[in-house]
């Protein structure tokens, strides 16, 4: 067994490995338990300073979410007189024992004289003891970073990247880096035998990364190439011990103690076979192995306990710090996941639960369905035990399984590999975890110091935001995914890398009816009847009402609302477990009758009647963006109109996602729309009518424009709230 020995000065990347120090019966290091981590104290002090700044930040919701996730948990102070009350109860209990037994117990139940004469006023716990308990329960937040092709980075970019990672560490997010020097786009490994040239490149780049991190991260960084093992068993024999081909973390004591001290481990794609032979492994498999280790899904949890497994289990149990893997960060020169629907060429945000398979299909248009249906490779334990089988097939396939495809299938592209590894990793982690695929150049932009040599077109009054720092503080992408195309950055050059992609495990999205099957929502007819909200088995109507009332903070008159929209419902969108949703209707102008209006008339108004997000989900998780994307890209791609009260704080969010807005003459409502050409159509009709008969002679129904229909609908919809205050 090997363990790392922390150096007294720089050069942890070249630290030698020595025999582990003696351990006590619990498997812990006694010298470590009594040592105070200066790095962690400094990190906590810097984070406390940031906490004070965030509390004064104008973006209160983002600051609140960050503090809730990363701030140190505090216990409630003890109530006044609590200890005195307990002392009285103890005295009564002792008196009862003395009376019942009839035995003179003397001073057995009385406190000693020394204690009586030492006045200690314990109204609450001592501050030092309380602080130690809080720090012991503080979780260890982690970010797993994979850096691809570091050999292509110049020293300035690498140093900027090291600065960004060290800033993230100061904000409370500990870092572990996986090195990926693979230059092939398909990521295939011809052999497990490491080539001399490739091994030299990996060691040189690992040393470069370590040196750059040590310049900015005061606790240091060091290379770890003895923590992983690899097994490749052709003939599996059923047993109680898990036997599988792939990469595993064999010795997590080379990782957790340094990470807890703020040291950044840099892990090359090396592993050791059962015969202690060094083998080359895929960096993506290393990421998945570390994810399973940090998530607690290890061999020891799924298999029988041998001496080594028992020792590791004791060590893991003795650790007071709870690891939480918050981020998976893929630094790839190719950038984010490409998208043909956006002007900048990349997906800004991916809800994996709802979009993974569609995006993967788009990235592999030439692959046949048969080539993607590959039977998973199960370990012998999985074949004889349902739980490991569920973990390996439903939660995350074994690392080597996706490489064993049919001979006639094309190897996946690098973007597909990045998408796959993120999807498999996030399925192992809590819903709060997320991932970011970004170029090293973008990640190297410092939020503190502007990069030298950056071309400028004019006077810069703001520093460039760092996408990694922004994502850490807000858990959001730099640009909202629900923004329309005109507000996205200008089209990029064909040779430029893709912008960053933010990914979350996400939530499922239910659209009734489903535009992926029936196409965009259509006006009601005999072949396309309106949805009945209260009777449709696909809709939990009480949950939908609860969602609306929670979002608007008002009680809905359900009967009045159902009567108003009956026969007009275009569709319903439900995100997750009723965390967000939208109800859309087909409305008609007040001067026209729905029964006489042709079904193909442009005067049927696609109206967003209710847009709701649970208050607990507002500002985080991207629920609003997910619902809005389904509404404007799938349900009503040609446009939709809605209204909001003029003083609604959400109007800024609405304005950024609309084509236009206009304050209605009633002085209370603001109308928004995403339909293109509405104003231009109205202006043209007005000019034509003015030239012939005058605007006042326009006949409703014959010459009414969509603008007139929009204004009539938004001004005529009757609210359905129970209270008598102004409607929302």
- Could you give the percent of the chain with pLDDT greater than 90? 42
37-46, 500-509, 587-596, 607-616: least confident range: 37-46
Structure tokens given for 552: 């608007």
pLDDT of residue 376: 41
Average pLDDT over residues 195-219: 94
pLDDT of residue 271: 92
Q: Measured between alpha carbons, how far is 127 from 325 in angstroms, rounded to an integer?
A: 30
**pLDDT surpasses 90 at 105:** no
**pLDDT surpasses 60 at 654:** yes
List, for residues 18-65, the tens digit of each pLDDT value: 333 334 433 444 444 444 456 566 666 666 655 555 554 445 566 666
Contact 21, 257 (CB under 8 A): no
Structure tokens given for 215: 């310049």
Q: Measured between alpha carbons, how far is 73 from 623 in angstroms, rounded to an integer?
A: 26
Question: Which domains, and CATH codes, for the chain?
Answer: 82-135 (no CATH), 139-404+411-443 (3.40.1160.10), 509-716 (3.40.630.30)
Average pLDDT over residues 438-448: 81
pLDDT of residue 456: 42
Average pLDDT over residues 419-439: 94
Average pLDDT, the chain: 74
Average pLDDT over residues 503-513: 94
SS3 category, 401: helix
pLDDT of residue 302: 47
List, for residues 673-702, the tens digit of each pLDDT value: 999 998 888 888 877 766 555 444 444 444
Closest by Cα among 184, 189, 224, 191 to 206: 224
**pLDDT surpasses 90 at 76:** no
Closest by Cα among 252, 235, 361, 259 to 12: 259
**pLDDT surpasses 70 at 267:** yes
Average pLDDT over residues 60-89: 55
Question: CA angle, corner 447, sides to 442 and 452, nearest 5?
Answer: 70
Average pLDDT over residues 429-452: 79
List, for residues 204-215, the tens digit of each pLDDT value: 999 999 999 999
pLDDT of residue 520: 94
pLDDT of residue 686: 78
pLDDT of residue 334: 92
Contact 348, 479 (CB under 8 A): yes
pLDDT of residue 316: 54
**How many CB atoms within 10 Å of residue 432?**
14
Average pLDDT over residues 640-668: 92
Cross-strand partners of 575: 509, 580
Q: Measured between alpha carbons, how far is 485 from 341 in angstroms, rounded to an integer?
A: 9
List, for residues 375-426, the tens digit of each pLDDT value: 343 433 344 444 444 444 444 443 333 333 333 344 458 999 999 999 999 9
Instruction: Give me the sheet containing 501-504, strands edge to edge.
Output: 221-223, 264-267, 174-180, 140-148, 323-331, 434-438, 501-504, 349-351
Q: Measured between alpha carbons, how far is 27 from 318 in angstroms, rounded to an integer?
A: 7
pLDDT of residue 493: 53
HEC string for 181-248 = CCCCCCCCCCCCCCCHHHHHHHHHHHHHHHHHHHHHCCCCEEECCCCEEEECCCCCCCCCCCCCCEEE
Contact 245, 233 (CB under 8 A): yes
Closest by Cα among 495, 356, 416 to 186: 416
């Amino acid at each position: 067994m090997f363990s790392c020995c922390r150096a007294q000065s720089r050069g942890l990347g070249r630290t030698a490995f020595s025999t582990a120090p003696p351990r006590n019966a619990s498997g812990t290091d006694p010298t470590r338990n009594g040592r105070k981590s200066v790095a962690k104290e400094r990190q906590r002090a810097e984070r406390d300073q940031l906490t004070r700044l965030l509390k004064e930040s104008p973006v209160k919701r983002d600051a609140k979410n960050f503090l809730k996730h990363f701030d140190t948990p505090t216990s409630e102070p003890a109530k006044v007189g609590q200890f005195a009350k307990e002392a009285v109860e103890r005295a009564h209990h002792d008196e009862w024992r003395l009376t019942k037994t009839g035995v003179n117990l003397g001073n057995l139940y009385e406190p000693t004289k020394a204690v009586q004469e030492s006045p200690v006023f314990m109204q609450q716990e001592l501050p030092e003891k309380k602080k130690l308990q809080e720090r012991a329960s503080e979780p260890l937040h982690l970010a797993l970073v994979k850096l691809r092709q570091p050999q292509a980075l110049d020293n300035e970019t690498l140093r900027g990247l090291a600065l960004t990672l060290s800033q993230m560490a100061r904000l409370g997010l500990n870092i572990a880096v996986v090195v990926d020097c693979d230059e092939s786009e398909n990521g295939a490994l011809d052999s497990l035998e490491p080539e001399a040239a490739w091994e030299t490149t990996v060691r040189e780049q690992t040393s470069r990364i370590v040196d750059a991190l040590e310049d900015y991260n005061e606790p240091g960084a060091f290379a770890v190439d003895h923590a992983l093992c690899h097994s490749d068993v052709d003939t599996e024999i059923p047993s109680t011990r898990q036997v599988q081909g792939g990469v595993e973390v064999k010795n997590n004591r080379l990782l957790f103690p340094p990470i807890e001290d703020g040291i950044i481990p840099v892990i090359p794609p090396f592993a050791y076979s059962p015969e202690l032979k060094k083998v080359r492994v895929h960096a993506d498999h290393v990421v998945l192995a570390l994810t399973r280790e940090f998530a607690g899904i290890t061999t020891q949890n799924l298999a029988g306990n041998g001496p080594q497994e028992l020792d590791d289990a004791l060590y893991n149990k003795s650790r007071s710090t709870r690891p939480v893997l918050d981020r998976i960060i893929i630094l790839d020169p190719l950038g984010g996941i490409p998208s043909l629907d956006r002007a900048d060429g990349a997906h800004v945000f991916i809800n994996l639960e709802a979009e993974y398979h569609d995006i993967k299909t788009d990235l592999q248009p030439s692959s046949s369905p048969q080539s993607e249906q590959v039977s998973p490779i199960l370990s012998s334990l999985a074949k004889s035990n349902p739980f490991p089988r569920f973990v390996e097939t439903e939660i995350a396939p074994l690392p080597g399984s996706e490489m064993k495809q049919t001979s006639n299938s094309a190897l996946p592209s690098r973007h597909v590999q990045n998408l796959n590894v993120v999807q498999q990793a996030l399925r192992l982690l809590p819903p709060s975890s997320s991932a970011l695929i970004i170029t090293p150049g973008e990640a190297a932009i410092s939020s503190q110091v502007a990069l030298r040599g950056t071309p400028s077109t004019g006077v810069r009054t703001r520093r460039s935001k760092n996408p990694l720092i922004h994502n850490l503080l807000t858990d959001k992408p730099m640009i909202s995914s629900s923004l329309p195309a005109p507000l996205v950055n200008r089209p990029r050059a064909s040779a430029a890398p893709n912008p960053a992609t933010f990914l979350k495990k996400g939530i499922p999205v239910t659209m009734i009816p489903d535009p992926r099957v029936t196409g965009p929502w259509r006006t009601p007819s005999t072949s396309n009847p309106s949805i009945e909200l209260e009777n449709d088995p696909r809709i939990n109507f009480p949950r939908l009402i609860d969602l609306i009332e929670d979002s608007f903070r008002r009680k809905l008159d359900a009967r009045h609302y159902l009567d108003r929209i009956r026969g007009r419902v275009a569709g319903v969108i439900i995100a997750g477990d009723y965390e967000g949703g939208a109800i859309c209707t087909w409305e008609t102008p007040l001067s026209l009758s729905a029964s006489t209006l042709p079904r193909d008339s442009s005067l049927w108004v696609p109206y967003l009647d209710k847009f709701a997000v649970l208050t607990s989900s507002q500002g985080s998780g991207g629920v609003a963006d997910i619902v809005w994307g389904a509404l404007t890209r799938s349900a009503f791609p040609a446009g939709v109109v809605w209204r909001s009260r003029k003083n609604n704080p959400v109007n800024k969010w609405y304005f950024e996602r609309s084509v236009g807005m206009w304050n209605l003459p009633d002085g209370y409502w603001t109308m928004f729309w995403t339909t293109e050409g509405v104003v231009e159509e109205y202006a043209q009709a007005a000019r034509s009518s003015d030239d012939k008969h005058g605007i006042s002679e326009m006949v409703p129904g014959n010459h009414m424009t969509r603008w007139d229909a929009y204004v009539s609908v938004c001004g005529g919809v009757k609210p359905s709230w129970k209270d008598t205050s102004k409607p929302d």
